A = this chain, B = another copy of it.
Amino acid sequence: MKNTSYKIVLIGSGNVATQLGFALKKSKQNIVQVYSRNIKNAFSLAKLLKSDATNNVSKIISDADIYIIAIKDDEIASIAKKIKIENKIIVHTSGSVAIGVLKNMSKNYGVFYPLQTIAKNKKTNFSKIPICIEANNKSTFEILKQLASKISKHIYNIDSEQRKQIHLAAVFACNFTNQMYAIAEQILKQKKIPFTILYPLISETASKIKHNSPVLTQTGPAKRGDKKVMQEHLKLLSNKKDWAKLYSLISKQIAANKAQ
């Protein structure tokens, strides 16, 4: 069982398709075909994975074991209508799309959601990444679990409702956090201070959550109720109304401990 190699079709050629493709290939899975509506993208990923390529849904091969849809969330429903897989396993990799979107594609379907921010051009090490799995039946679940275990040690049984909640939490912990970094960088730029000066602070902030719940370790002027400092900060932001609005809103929530 441990050495099973699955025949896999990748539907998509973006960030997740690319990095997941690399990880699966490295773990000796057999990526047989890459589909992308953009044939150039299909070919360039297929070349790296030594597989075939197509931009024609009717040419997607029918005898693979697992079909992985890794495309934009809002395009999954539309491609699902165009492809019939019969008894093979079909999954998507989205955090926010319910499992049911795939129900007319095959008797066996599921979700294979790697909980990480993934970029095409930055190698993803899947071994520590949580893989959230859901399936419409037990045998499919077991196969997806086995596939996941080839690339990660962290496999979670997560239903569609939980997955949506995880995805929402991830938006705060990743996208919104990244926006805080982006604003911080721009604030420093105004005085020609290098962003590197914040690296140790950013690392420590991200690391200390592993020891204590973030709500318990909050620091800074809002937490201390230091109104004078907050007023000065708002003055510094007077030419950036959107950031000032954000500053007031988040400070208010920190002060009220609204995360609790």
Alpha-carbon separation in the docked complex, A148 to B213 (Å) = 31
Question: Judging by beta carbons under 8 Å apart, are B218 and A210 in contact?
Answer: no
Alpha-carbon separation in the docked complex, A184 to B218 (Å) = 14
Task: Say yes or no: A185-B259 contact (C-beta < 8 A), given A117-B204, A171-B221, A253-B242.
Answer: yes
- State how many angstroms separate the Cβ of A104 from the closest Cβ of chain B: 20
**A-side interface size class:** 35 or more
Q: Does A254 contact B (CB under 8 A)?
A: yes
Question: Judging by beta carbons under 8 Å apart, are B182 and A180 in contact?
Answer: no
Q: Does A161 contact B (CB under 8 A)?
A: yes
Alpha-carbon separation in the docked complex, A242 to B220 (Å) = 20
Q: Does A82 contact B (CB under 8 A)?
A: no
- State how many angstroms separate the Cβ of A175 from the closest Cβ of chain B: 4
The residue from B72, B171, B210 contacting A199, defined by CB atoms under 8 A apart: B210
Question: Judging by beta carbons under 8 Å apart, are B203 and A206 in contact?
Answer: yes
Alpha-carbon separation in the docked complex, A232 to B217 (Å) = 30
Question: Judging by beta carbons under 8 Å apart, are B204 and A205 in contact?
Answer: no
Which B residues lie within 8 Å of A122 (CB)?
Answer: 208, 211
Alpha-carbon separation in the docked complex, A242 to B250 (Å) = 9
Task: Say yes or no: A219-B173 contact (C-beta < 8 A), given A165-B191, A185-B214, A229-B73.
Answer: no
Closest to A199 in B: B210
Task: Say yes or no: A193-B162 contact (C-beta < 8 A), given A202-B174, A211-B122, A214-B181.
Answer: yes
Question: Judging by beta carbons under 8 Å apart, are B169 and A198 in contact?
Answer: yes
Question: Judging by beta carbons under 8 Å apart, are B191 and A254 in contact?
Answer: no
Task: Say yes or no: A198-B219 contact (C-beta < 8 A), given A168-B187, A228-B73.
Answer: no
The residue from B158, B186, B210 contacting A259, defined by CB atoms under 8 A apart: B186
Which B residues lie within 8 Å of A210 (CB)?
Answer: 199
Q: Does A190 contact B (CB under 8 A)?
A: yes
Which B residues lie within 8 Å of A223 (CB)?
Answer: 175
